[in-house]
Amino acid sequence: MQDIESVHTEKKKAYDNVVMSLDQEKGRMEGDAKQVFNDYVEDERKFHQNNIQTEIYDAFLKRIGNEAKFLNQPDKRLTNEFKSYSEFFNAKLRQQENIVKDLKAHQKHIKDNSENYSEQMSLFRNLKQILEVKRRTVKEGPDGDLVGYQDTNAQGFDRFVVRD
Cβ atoms of 63 and 85 within 8 Å: the answer is yes
pLDDT of 149 strictly over 80: no
Mean pLDDT throughout 54-73? 92
Within the chain, what is the greatest distance between any pair of CA atoms? 127
pLDDT tens-digit profile of 85-94? Answer: 999 999 999 9
Long-range contact list for 13-20, CB < 8 A, 24+ apart? Answer: none
Mean pLDDT throughout 127-141? 80
Residue 148: its pLDDT value, please? 67
DSSP 13-78: HHHHHHHHHHHHHHHHHHHHHHHHHHHHHHHHHHHHHHHHHHHHHHHHHHHHHHHHHHHH-TT--S
pLDDT band with cut points at 50, 70 and 90 for residue 147: low
Domain boundaries, the chain: 1-75
Mean pLDDT of the chain: 88
Nearest-angstrom CA–CA distance, 24 and 22: 5
pLDDT of 64 strictly over 80: yes
Q: Would you tell me how many other CB atoms lie within 10 Å of the CB of residue 78?
A: 16
Residue 80: its pLDDT value, please? 87
Q: Which residues pair with 161 in a beta bridge?
A: 149
Residue 1: its pLDDT value, please? 79
Mean pLDDT throughout 83-108? 95
With pLDDT > 70 as the criterion, what percentage of the chain qualifies? 91
Q: Is the pTM of this model over 0.95?
A: no
For the chain, the 3-state helix, strand and coil shares in percent, each to the nearest 5, are 75, 5, 20
